Amino acid sequence: MKKLNYLIAVLVMAILLPSCNQISKLAESASGGLSMDSEGAAADIVECLGKIDQNQWRVLSLTIRADGSQDECSNTLGNIYAYMINSDDQIVFQNLWPNVTAPEPKGGNFYKNKKFAGIPELKLTVDDLKKNIEACKAMLPEEYKFLSLFRYEIELEKNSDVYTTGIVMNVQEKGKETISANGVESAVYYEVKFEISPDGKVTIKD
């Protein structure tokens, strides 16, 4: 694990975003939806993956995003979508949650050199999801606290057929959650990006 001082430096150098519009609603996902880091959300993600016929389709990427734009700092599950490839090496995009949409053919993108034959079946459990999220939280220095999980993405590496996981969290420095000027207050947060290698190693990305 990287040393604490380095982690703090990475956090300080992360993009400082001006405000979170929904900070007062984060802790309990006041909109009534599932929290991104909850077991219920993990179960829905696994269920969505289970509905993909991986005999006919291989998953190129599976993305889970929070509701709204990142500067809203929502921690509510917003949507789940996938890029997939079939045995004819046709690539499609499809929304899987909350509504399943018709597959949209895609071409000329990041996945153009991928072939169905070499791609393994994507396997995922609720425990996998929860373990990865908690491992990322555990890497935050004590001076910072988890605010929201913006994105969780599992994707084939560009030059190989193995999956890596990328996680984007919003965090706040304890005691410095807000800034005010001329009688107006804004919440302050930082974006932190994590990468989890195929062997499970978690790193904070610069």
Q: Is the pLDDT of residue 46 over 50?
A: yes
pLDDT given at position 101: 96
Q: 3-class SS at 24?
A: helix
Alpha-carbon distance of 95 to 80, in angstroms, equals: 6
Higher pLDDT, 155 or 16: 155
Band (pLDDT 50/70/90 cuts) for residue 70 is confident
Higher pLDDT, 15 or 201: 201
Question: How many Å separate Cα 199 from the centre of its chain?
Answer: 18
Residue type, 187: A
pLDDT given at position 31: 44
pLDDT given at position 193: 96
Q: Compute how many other C-beta atoms are within 10 angstroms of the C-beta atom of residue 9.
A: 14
Query: Would you give the DSSP letter of residue 76?
Result: B
Domain that holds residue 60: 4-204
Alpha-carbon distance of 154 to 177, in angstroms, equals: 30
pLDDT given at position 17: 53
Q: Is the pLDDT of residue 41 over 50?
A: yes
Q: What is the mean pLDDT of the chain?
A: 87
Task: Sort 68 into a burial class: Cβ within 10 Å, 0-12 / 13-18 / 19+.
Answer: middle
Share of the chain above pLDDT 70, in %: 83
Number of domains in the chain: 1
Please state, in angstroms and as integers, the Cα–Cα distance from residue 161 to each residue in 7, 93, 99, 158, following that order: 30, 19, 29, 8
